[in-house]
């Protein structure tokens, strides 16, 4: 796909969406059938991606080309002896998250981490780590809302799919309150567990005006989620994969050469990228691959940013 075609396509979608958004509730969610496709994401869950019926995303023209690292599932989970715990005063951040965070900081590479809030802020050390690393406080990272507990039916799964509006609003509110109470920070970006959502998710997130960005959200022009309502957030699309499966980072050669993916969207066309990864699952190979991919993208002239910074400072959106 040529770059012009991509932007033409996105522009047409945006025009359609703006038209629809201008109408009063034009969308009846019952008209849209959601297909569930196993895909790659997060944790032990199967990602639920749904087919978009109402594309709405656009990335306005801007100088430069940017990469957003969407690194999921940051929370406290082991104690200082390495024993698995999910809560308590001894809970610490997973060592692999600390490893990737240290490398990103040392190399001046901005990134974003998806927080699971019910399993976070068990002690002051964690709150201090978040505060000290937050881009708002001069750090390198944006922390975004990945969910309150990442659970559904007692499984580590799709918290925002089929759980109902009241439940979803409550979980977003609890997550936001927990972040702010412990750090003074405010979430500006959302991406649910498994990138799975429904019409209630759209309504729920719309109730939180401080959330400006939804990564891989509904109306993603890559057609990976169903749009059953119109979001008020800026949607960052999913164009290119960093991982072949949750926790398995492609080699640099694979990253570059996969037909229809990076080479189509970026290498020759300069599209912005939002790359999803799961550092808590990365082995030595995945870390090495990640470092090489980041170095390669820098050599290609990409700048690393965060979702909200991209929205606010690159695109100058409100």
Binding region for Zn ion (CB under 5 A) out of 46-54, 101-109, 124-132, 187-195:
187-195
Pick out residues in 56-95 that bind Zn ion (CB under 5 A): 72-73
Binder of Zn ion out of 42, 118, 228, 233 (CB under 5 A): 42
Burial pattern 157-185, b for ≥16 Cβ within 10 A else e, equals bbbbbbbeeebbbebbeebbebbeebbeb
Residue 278, exposed/middle/buried by CB under 10 A (0-12, 13-18, 19+)? buried
Instruction: Check residue 43 for interaction with Zn ion (CB under 5 A).
Output: yes
**Smallest distance, Å, CB 252 to Zn ion?**
25
Binding region for Zn ion (CB under 5 A) out of 36-44, 49-57, 232-240, 279-287:
36-44
**Residue with smaller CB distance to Zn ion, 93 or 252:** 93
**Smallest distance, Å, CB 57 to Zn ion?**
21
Contact 50, 224 (CB under 8 A): yes
Q: Return the closest-CA partner of residue 255 out of 246, 245, 243.
A: 243
**Residue with smaller CB distance to Zn ion, 58 or 242:** 242
* Separation of alpha carbons 202 and 27, rounded Å: 12
List the structure tokens of 228: 């059953």
**Smallest distance, Å, CB 193 to Zn ion?**
4
* Separation of alpha carbons 237 and 318, rounded Å: 18
Instruction: Check residue 49 for interaction with Zn ion (CB under 5 A).
Output: no
**Residue 233 CB neighbour total at 10 angstroms:** 25
* Separation of alpha carbons 94 and 77, rounded Å: 6
**Smallest distance, Å, CB 43 to Zn ion?**
5
Residues that bind Zn ion (rule: CB under 5 A) add up to a total of 5
**Residue with smaller CB distance to Zn ion, 219 or 280:** 280
**Smallest distance, Å, CB 39 to Zn ion?**
13
The residue with its CB nearest to Zn ion is 42
Instruction: Check residue 193 for interaction with Zn ion (CB under 5 A).
Output: yes
Binding region for Zn ion (CB under 5 A) out of 77-85, 192-200, 209-217, 309-317:
192-200
Report the relative pairing of strands 213-215 and 234-236 from DSSP bridges: parallel
* Separation of alpha carbons 299 and 67, rounded Å: 13
**Smallest distance, Å, CB 41 to Zn ion?**
7
Enumerate binding residues for Zn ion (CB under 5 A): 42-43, 72-73, 193
């Amino acid at each position: 796909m040529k770059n012009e075609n991509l932007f033409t396509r996105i522009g047409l979608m945006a025009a359609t969406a703006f038209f629809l958004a201008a109408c009063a509730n034009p969308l009846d969610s019952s008209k849209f059938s959601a297909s569930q496709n196993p895909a790659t994401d997060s944790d032990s869950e199967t990602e639920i991606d749904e087919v978009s019926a109402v594309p709405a995303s656009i990335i306005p023209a801007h100088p430069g080309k940017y990469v957003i690292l969407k690194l999921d599932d940051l929370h406290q989970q082991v104690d200082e002896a390495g024993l698995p715990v999910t809560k308590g005063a001894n809970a610490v951040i997973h060592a692999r998250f600390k490893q990737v965070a240290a490398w990103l900081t040392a190399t001046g590479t901005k990134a974003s981490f998806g927080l699971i809030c019910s399993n976070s802020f068990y002690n002051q050390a964690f709150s201090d780590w978040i505060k000290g690393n937050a881009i708002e406080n001069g750090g390198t990272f944006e922390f975004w809302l990945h969910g309150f507990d990442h659970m559904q039916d007692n499984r580590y799964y799709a918290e925002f799919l089929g759980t109902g509006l009241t439940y979803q609003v409550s979980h977003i509110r609890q997550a936001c309150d927990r972040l702010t109470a412990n750090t003074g920070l405010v979430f500006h970006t959302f991406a649910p567990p498994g990138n799975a959502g429904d019409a209630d998710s759209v309504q729920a997130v719309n109730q939180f005006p401080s959330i400006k960005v939804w990564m891989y959200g509904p109306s993603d022009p890559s057609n990976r989620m169903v749009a059953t309502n119109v979001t008020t957030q800026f949607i960052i699309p999913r164009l290119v994969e960093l991982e072949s499966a949750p926790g398995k980072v492609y080699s640099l050669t694979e990253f570059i050469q996969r037909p229809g993916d990076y080479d189509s969207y970026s290498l020759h066309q300069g599209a912005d990228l939002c790359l999803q990864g799961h550092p808590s699952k990365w082995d030595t190979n995945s870390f090495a691959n990640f470092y090489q991919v980041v170095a390669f993208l820098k050599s290609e002239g990409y700048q690393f940013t965060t979702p909200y910074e991209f929205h606010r400072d690159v695109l100058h959106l409100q």
